[in-house]
Chains A and B, each alone.
Chain A
Amino acid sequence: MASRKKIPKNARLPSAPLAEVVFELRWALHQGPAPGSIMNFDPMLIPLLHNFSAAMEEAKFSHSVDLAHPLQTGPYGVVRRYLKNPESPFPIMQVGAGIFATNESAQYEWKTYKAQILEGIKLLVNSYPTSFGFSLQPNYLELRYIDVFDKTVLRSSDFFRFTETGTSLKFNLPQFLENHQIFWGEAAGRFLFQRSLRGKKESLFRVELASAQSSATKENIVQLESKVTTAGVGVPVFRNTRSFVAEISKWLEFAHGVTSPFFKGFILPDVMTKFKRP
């Protein structure tokens, strides 16, 4: 496993819009009691939790939090989260009914995060019980970035002013919608883009830019979610740990090779400079 840079406790948090990055791997579940049932389940979930928890302990993710009872968790629901210690909320490993995920926050750095993902996957596939007639069949991969922008870094979190001054995405609004005699306050908005990716079957790139408001603070923020997903035949088949981890490593570089240049081209340099200012 690549070594993770040890960041001292008094190291400052990087100043950047990235709030969270999530990797997900999902696998096929056993069909529920009737065709089309929503009660699909993983018959290996309980022994998987036992094995994976022991593996997490060895990997120094020794603090765990149960979110739900494994028998009361629906398909792809997270059952347990693992932390290095209770004071450090990130990084996190998560496992549930047909799902593994690992998250990082502001201290994200690609090489370290990729190593974290591969370590988690290796421990997951080695923990998954075999010889019981139900095998691990991964069927979904996702690499997702969440960035948040508010008035602290931009003068306005009006959706269209943000896109105009902070991004390379431009809207040409009809004059009527900018008529101050008819409208007041900041405009909210939502932009959704989705397109198939070349290079990997059943792979999509999706961008979701949306404004949101807190009823408590009455402040608007703009959230950017960008992700690469691969499903079905595009997901590597699990045959053995070594080859599967190698294939996931290639997939991660493929996904990061889309999300990273997208972000650099989408958010204008002026916005990133404002994050750095004290």
Chain B
Amino acid sequence: MTTNYKTSISNFDITVGEPAVDSLGSGRQIPTESHSSKAAESAITREPRSTTSVLPDAVAANWGKISKARLTKQMYGNIVRVATQSRGMAPAVTAASLGNFLEFWMRIRNAAVEPEVVLAPDGTLYAEWYKSKHQRLDVRFTVNKAIFGLFAGSSILEGAERPETVANLLKQHAAKPLQWAAD
């Protein structure tokens, strides 16, 4: 029998030894303490827990990458805000999409300005670099790929590749799209 324990940072199922979901679950119960001195020595009892932890699942799942990505406070705030947006019963941004974006960001950050991050209806993350209506780069991060569209003047470049391949391609592009920002 699987017992779902959850720690307060996220709604991960701490089902020991079994895969779990990273979406909000119901029926959360974790063992918590009873405070009488005798009870503290006895079995830990369960009680309903409060909903005071606010960090989104996807952010928690990618905390190591977030720590290493050297994000600014502003960009971190944007990511958490996007990750908290509601998509009905589904989780906001998926952990996989956010993870791929962070991997991508760590590869390009020395050659890029911070993009606008937006949530797509399917839970994937969009990053956008925009300078003008003829100079725009969108990159969407799915589970395995980065899907990009680059409008640079009269030329259009689109593709879907692994995030590291897209990162290298964009870093080397003559138009320097990763440095585009609205004036």
Residues from chain A with a CB closer than 8 A to the CB of B8 are 20, 22, 144, 146, 225
Please report the C-alpha to C-alpha distance between residue A20 and residue B53 in the assembled complex, in whole angstroms: 8
C-alpha gap A229/B60 in the complex (Å): 23
Per the bound structure, the CA–CA distance linking A206 and B35 in Å amounts to 12
How many interface residues does chain B have, given as a range?
A: 35 or more
Interface residue B17 (Cβ < 8 Å from any Cβ of A): yes
Which stretch of B91-99, B129-137, B155-163 is in the interface?
B91-99
A148-B9, A223-B12 as given contacts; A22 in contact with B52, CB under 8 Å: yes
Q: Contact flags (1/0) for A188-230 with B, using CB distance below 8 Å?
A: 1110101110000011101010111111111101010100011
Residues from chain B with a CB closer than 8 A to the CB of A189 are 16
B residues near A, CB below 8 A? 5, 7-10, 12-14, 16-22, 31, 33, 35-37, 40, 44, 48, 50-55, 57, 59-68, 70-74, 76-78, 80-81, 84, 94-96, 99, 143
Q: How far is the CB of B1 from chain A (nearest CB, A)?
A: 15
Q: Enumerate chain A interface residues (CB-CB to B < 8 A).
A: 7-13, 15-17, 19-20, 22, 24, 26, 67, 74-78, 81, 86-90, 92, 94, 96, 99, 101, 103, 105-107, 144, 146, 148-153, 187-190, 192, 194-196, 202-204, 206, 208, 210-219, 221, 223, 225, 229-232, 234, 275, 277-278
Complex interface: chain A residues within 8 A of B59 (CB): 19
Q: When A103-B53, A212-B20 are in contact, do A217 and B96 touch as well, CB less than 8 Å?
A: yes
Would A13 and B22 count as touching, CB distance under 8 A? no
**A7 / chain B contacts, CB cutoff of 8 Å:** 73
A210:B7 contact, CB within 8 angstroms: yes
Closest residue of chain A to B6 (Cβ to Cβ) is A212
Q: Report yes or no: B70 in contact with A278, Cβ–Cβ below 8 A.
A: yes
Q: Main SS of chain B's interface residues? A: loop
Judge whether A16 and B67 touch: CB under 8 Å.
Answer: yes
Q: In the complex, which of the residues B7, B31, B143 contacts A223, with contact meaning CB atoms closer than 8 Å?
A: B7
Do A217 and B55 contact each other (CB < 8 Å), given the known contacts A13-B73, A148-B9, A223-B12? Answer: no
Give the chain B neighbours of A10 by CB distance below 8 A: 72-74
Distance in angstroms from B79 CB to nearest chain A CB is 9
Bound-complex Cα distance A65 to B142 (A): 29
Q: Are A219 and B61 in contact (CB under 8 A)?
A: yes
Known A-B contacts A87-B77, A88-B77, A94-B52; A194 and B67 likewise in contact (beta carbons under 8 Å): no
Could you say which residues of chain B place their CB within 8 Å of the CB of A99? Answer: 50, 52
Q: Which residues of B contact A208 (CB under 8 A)?
A: 7
14 contacts between A and B (CB under 8 A): A19-B55, A24-B52, A148-B60, A188-B17, A190-B16, A194-B44, A202-B36, A211-B14, A214-B20, A214-B22, A214-B95, A217-B99, A221-B12, A278-B70
Q: Which of B40, B57, B76, B80 contacts A195 (CB 8 A)?
A: B40
Question: Measured between alpha carbons, how far is A234 from B95 in the docked complex, in Å?
Answer: 40
A89 lies within 8 A of B40 (CB): no
